[in-house]
Amino acid sequence: MIDKVIDTIEANRMLRDGDKVIVGVSGGPDSMCLLHVLLRLRERFSLKLIAAHVNHGLRGKDADDDEKYVAEFCRRNDVEFRSIKEDIHRISAERNVSDETAGREVRYEFFEKLKSENAADKIAVAHNLNDQAETVMMRIMRGTGLEGLAGIKPVRDGVYIRPLLTCSRAEIEDYCSRNSINPRIDKTNFESIYARNKIRLELLPYIENNFNKDIISVLNRLAQSAKVDSEYLEQETEKKYKKYCKNKESKVIITKEAFLEHEAVLTRLIRMAFSRVLGNLRNFERMHIYQVIELQGSGTGKKLMLPNGVAAFNNYGDISVYLQGEDEAAPVKADSEFKLGIGVNSIEELGLKVTVEEHPFEEGCCENSEFIKCFDASRVCGDITLRFRKPGDKFNPLGMAGSKKLKDIFIDMKVPQDKRDKTPLICFGDHIAWIVGYKTSNRSKADKSTKKIIKIRVEREE
């Protein structure tokens, strides 16, 4: 069995020499086997091991005895031991989740805390071949896709490692017996109180006895095949993501060309966008992905509300995925108007800083960018102000003789509807000189006859 574990470690590059490893140890056969095996491999990989135990407070004295057992084993074998005791019933009620889910969340939170405090490299957990089969079966019953069929990953996020994933429960129990480990036994594992227990104790044995005695191996082969295909699709999706998606702070823009891709890639692109925006995929389901695809086929300006405060917005076929409140600026009053003087103008309620400078015109002195523009000072009539659009506004774009309705200009530039009322306008008197971030006016342009320029810079306050 040791050789099998070494092969698994090396095939998946789980460990490097000198790694510090947090080992999740409940006291049961699987985790005690894992800790014992890593102890035997401690010199081979120059490992530093820290055993992490969570007392869930669900089994009274038995749970306390589990903790004492693991602590004593660690003391005898010179392994650093860390533990916490939590009230899982209370936590599950507070988080509105099952005891099983609460217990898992608490365990992994503890592992992450220890990893951070000890600058550890890896977190080892004791999932095995049977756990993999149970996981795949559970996901099949939930209607999973290819990624779900791949089951438990040998390595997750480059941190979580599962050295026993190719070992069966029978092999683990035999290893414990031969090495006189005498692990603790959780009696609730033999009660059909959770879905996983029912699969372990009832469904898989029924399939073994009536359909296929090798169902555990079959499900693991299925997981391995799905893993290979899923990894390839993920690699291809990463390439397409770089091609079609733009990350802007807490927003991802999926360009319309992405929606011409094969459904297998497109659905993964959308999942990837959800994950990049939120950091996880909790509460996102297949239907949410297809709702985004439907949104892209609907008209511009449509918005979709998704789980966890995420929204999707159709902007002329491009889909913005973002956290609500972070992509949307505070509402602006239609009649808001701010007079600007020469120098730095701070507009606190908008979070903007507008710098107005006057310079003699020289060749090359006009600095023009998205948020910096230069104008002929002689064509600046009236007060320089910053305001927002009003009904009936017209604009004379650079290079055009006449004027157009500002509304039509926004449509031509494909400015999203929810941005139009929030786009600042720089005005000279009653004349709109600059749609900030977009176009300047033909009437105030600087040219060869210009003697003096007004340079305006609009930026966010630090």
Q: In degrees rounded to 5, what are phi and psi of residue 252?
A: -120, 130
Q: What is the pLDDT of residue 29?
A: 96
Please report which confidence band the pLDDT of residue 238 belongs to, taking 50, 70 and 90 as the band edges: very high
Contact at 8 Å (CB) between 256 and 296?
yes
Is pLDDT above 80 for 55? yes
Residue given tokens 């609009």 in the structure block: 458
Which letter does DSSP use for residue 416 in this model?
Answer: -
Residue 52: CA atoms inside 13 Å, Cβ hemisphere, count? 23
| Stretch among 227-236, 254-263, 360-369, 418-427 having the lowest mean pLDDT | 360-369
Instruction: Please state the pTM of the whole predicted model.
Output: 0.69
Q: What is the pLDDT of residue 330?
A: 46
Structure tokens at 81: 């031991």
In whole angstroms, what is the distance from residue 129 CA to residue 102 CA? 24
By C-alpha distance, which of 352, 317, 323 is closest to 338? 352
Structure tokens at 356: 């107005």
Contact at 8 Å (CB) between 251 and 280?
no
Across 134-150, average pLDDT: 93
Question: Which is more confidently placed, 384 or 186?
Answer: 384
Q: What is the pLDDT of residue 328?
A: 52
Across 290-294, average pLDDT: 95
2-223 to CATH, choices 3.40.50.920, 3.40.50.1820, 3.90.1570.10, 3.40.50.620: 3.40.50.620
Beta partners for residue 441, in sequence order: 397
Residue given tokens 């997981």 in the structure block: 223
In whole angstroms, what is the distance from residue 262 CA to residue 244 CA? 13
For residue 57, the Cα-to-chain-centroid distance in whole angstroms is 32
Contact at 8 Å (CB) between 50 and 20?
yes
How many other CB atoms are found less than 10 A from the CB of residue 133?
25
Judged by phi (left if over 0) then psi (alpha if -120 to 50, else beta), residue 338 lies in beta
Q: Where along the chain do its domains lie?
A: 2-223, 249-323, 337-460
In whole angstroms, what is the distance from residue 151 CA to residue 132 CA? 6
* Fold (topology level) of 337-460: Phenylalanyl-tRNA Synthetase; Chain B, domain 3 (3.50.40)
Q: What is the pLDDT of residue 462?
A: 55
Which contacts (CB < 8 Å, 24+ apart) does range 198-201 have? 199/134, 199/137, 199/138, 200/130, 200/134
| Stretch among 324-328, 408-412, 433-437 having the lowest mean pLDDT | 324-328
Across 20-24, average pLDDT: 98
pLDDT over 70, % of the chain: 97
Q: What is the pLDDT of residue 444?
A: 87
In whole angstroms, what is the distance from residue 206 CA to residue 247 CA? 49
**Coil, strand or helix at 247:** strand
Q: What is the pLDDT of residue 334?
A: 60
* Structural class in CATH, domain 249-323: alpha beta
Q: What is the pLDDT of residue 97?
A: 87
By C-alpha distance, which of 146, 143, 153 is closest to 285? 143
Is pLDDT above 60 for 329? no
Kindly report, residue by residue over 73-105, the tens digit of the pLDDT: 999 999 999 999 999 989 999 988 888 889 999
By C-alpha distance, which of 39, 2, 8, 28 is closest to 161? 8
Structure tokens at 132: 């993999």
Please report which confidence band the pLDDT of residue 333 belongs to, taking 50, 70 and 90 as the band edges: low
In whole angstroms, what is the distance from residue 82 CA to residue 73 CA? 12
| Stretch among 51-55, 218-222, 455-459 having the lowest mean pLDDT | 455-459
Q: What is the pLDDT of residue 326?
A: 57
Cα-based angle 164, 167, 173 (whole degrees, multiple of 5): 100
In whole angstroms, what is the distance from residue 393 CA to residue 198 CA? 68
Is pLDDT above 80 for 233? yes
**337-340 and 343-347: which strand pairing?**
unpaired
Q: What is the pLDDT of residue 188?
A: 75
Residue given tokens 């930026």 in the structure block: 459
Q: What is the pLDDT of residue 325?
A: 67
Round the average pLDDT of the chain to a whole number and report it. Answer: 91
In whole angstroms, what is the distance from residue 70 CA to residue 77 CA? 11
Contact at 8 Å (CB) between 112 and 12?
no
Sign of the torsion angle spanned by Cα atoms 358, 364, 369, 374: positive
| Stretch among 126-140, 289-303, 317-331, 384-398 having the lowest mean pLDDT | 317-331
For residue 247, the Cα-to-chain-centroid distance in whole angstroms is 12
Kindly report, residue by residue over 358-376, the tens digit of the pLDDT: 988 876 667 778 889 999 9
Rg (C-alpha) for the chain, rounded Å, is 31
Is pLDDT above 90 for 245? yes
Q: What is the pLDDT of residue 281?
A: 86
Kindly report, residue by residue over 340-351, the tens digit of the pLDDT: 999 999 888 787
Beta partners for residue 156, in sequence order: 160
Structure tokens at 313: 């917005």
Taken as a whole, the chain contains a residue count of 462
Kindly report, residue by residue over 156-169, the tens digit of the pLDDT: 999 999 999 999 99
